[in-house]
A and B are shown apart, each in its own frame.
Chain A
Amino acid sequence: MTVATDALIDAYVADVTGRLPRRSRSDVAAELRSLLTEELRGRAGDSGRLPDDQMALDLVRAFGHPSAVAARYHPAVISIIPPTETRGFVWATVVGVALQWAGSLPLALTGQLLPHSTESTRLATWWLSYGLGALWWPGFLVTVMMIAAWLRRTWPAPEKVWQPTRANVPANSNRGRFALALAGAVCGAAIWIGAVWASLTFSNPATRALTFDPPFLATRAPVVLIYWWASIALLVVLFIEGSWRPLTRQLDHALKIACCMLLAWLVFGGRIFVADDADRSAKAMLGVLVVVILAQLAFQIWRGRRRTTSPHFRSGAN
């Protein structure tokens, strides 16, 4: 068994158990991992060679697509919403209704959405119109699921071949992406330094419009540069290593959090540009950037969270 075959089996097991109810995931994951490992050893023994990636891939593909395997772990029932899609359905329903309520309730309470209702009746009027009306969404989703179930039954899809993804298998194939990111970071730093230099050196309408505020250059700009070099250093390490590992992932998270704090400091800590328009536009863009970075960070943490834990083992025979 190699690290790569272990990782491949782990990735496959994670794909299967991710589709199972939370309470049974850890136990099924441990058993499936143990059995697949044993199967792989058995195959290797039969073929008279050591287990390799292709053998492991053939094994898990023969085992079945993760969605099909997960379905086998559920009781065999015919349902409009397949057991493995129930969680997604519930999420889509709750989020869809919540978004409609979140969008309509404030407007209704401030009188913008229901201008003819009085202040005392706005909530009741909202509930009887937009509030209950938002429930069209679960009905729509059920209808879609019914149509999907009918289509699946009438025209069964060809069996899918499982593919390990970059997200769940450590691979050395990320070097190109790291190189691109590194090139982008270096160019960004060069543009940033060039812009500061140009605004201090030349005096024409273009540079005047983008003249940096002197206190900004004295205090916050050097911190931006320090952050930038730290990011470039991390990208150099990633480029050399070729893939993520826990430490570099944690450093990346720390840098993203630092970046958000730095950007918040830039936005709220005083002027960036001397000109009002340039300052406002820059701060608006930085605000959007903070939201994007936070969303990306949240998604990465969600993707990388530990989905299973070890079950209770008993030592000794039966």
Chain B
Amino acid sequence: MAKNESPDDAIGKLEQELRRGLIVLAALSQLKEPQYGYSLRMTLAVGGMNVEEGTLYPLLRRLEDQGFLTSEWVVEDGPPRRYYRLNSAGKKLLARLESNWQSLVGVMNAFTGVETPKGRRAAS
């Protein structure tokens, strides 16, 4: 914990860090079909994952720079919008992250003692 940082601030930051990794997986999972930034944020929010716009939009750019997304400007009936979608590298990344996520869920359930879907205690 940095100096001059209250426990509440520290907890907030740790929660943010926990969610930050999940945002990538959540965003990728919704980009099998093309979406622009605002529509993706709304989709995630409706699904129960509120992501700050200041976090999501730069993330999309970074994922594109890293070669996992492709994008293009599209003009439909409204203003020009930049649509993103998974490319082949992004699909591989998504599959890998989903696999990691399933594994992590199991591990974390075991660590935290959460009941698994089969009704067994994951860890004593």
Contact = CB atoms under 8 A, between A and B. Distances in A.
B34 to A, nearest CB: 5
Contact of A318 (B2, B3, B34, B58): B34
Nearest to A63: B54
A232 interface: no
Interface size class of B (residues with CB under 8 A): 20 to 34
B121 interface: no
B76 A34 contact: no
B53 A63 contact: yes
Interface stretch (A142-150, A178-186, A258-266, A306-314): A306-314
B90 interface: no
Nearest to B4: A155
B2 A35 contact: no
A317 B74 contact: yes
Contact of B54 (A30, A38, A69, A75): A69
Nearest to B55: A72
Interface in B73-93: 73-76, 79-83, 85
Interface size class of A (residues with CB under 8 A): 20 to 34
Contact of B38 (A24, A35, A73): A35
Contacts of B62: 73, 75
B75 A34 contact: no
A314 B73 contact: yes
A78 to B, nearest CB: 14
Interface string B79-109: 1111101000000000000000000000000
A12 B54 CA distance: 13
Contacts of B3: 154-155
Contacts of A68: 54
A154 B2 contact: yes
A149 to B, nearest CB: 14
A193 B63 CA distance: 67
Contact of A35 (B37, B65, B83): B37
A275 B82 CA distance: 70
B8 to A, nearest CB: 15
Interface in B37-88: 37-38, 42, 52-55, 57-59, 61-62, 65, 72-76, 79-83, 85
Nearest to B79: A34
Nearest to A37: B79
B15 interface: no
Query: Which residue of B36, B65, B80 has the most chain A CB atoms within 10 A of its CB atom?
Result: B80
Instruction: Count chain B CB atoms within 10 A of each CB in A39, A316, A318 and give the residue with the most.
Output: A318
28 contacts: A28-B61, A30-B73, A31-B37, A31-B61, A32-B57, A34-B79, A34-B81, A34-B82, A35-B37, A35-B38, A63-B52, A63-B54, A64-B54, A69-B58, A72-B54, A72-B58, A72-B59, A73-B62, A153-B2, A154-B2, A155-B4, A156-B4, A312-B73, A313-B75, A315-B74, A316-B74, A317-B76, A318-B72
Interface of A: 24, 28, 30-32, 34-35, 37-39, 42, 62-64, 68-69, 72-73, 75, 153-156, 311-318
Interface of B: 2-5, 34, 36-38, 42, 52-55, 57-59, 61-62, 65, 72-76, 79-83, 85
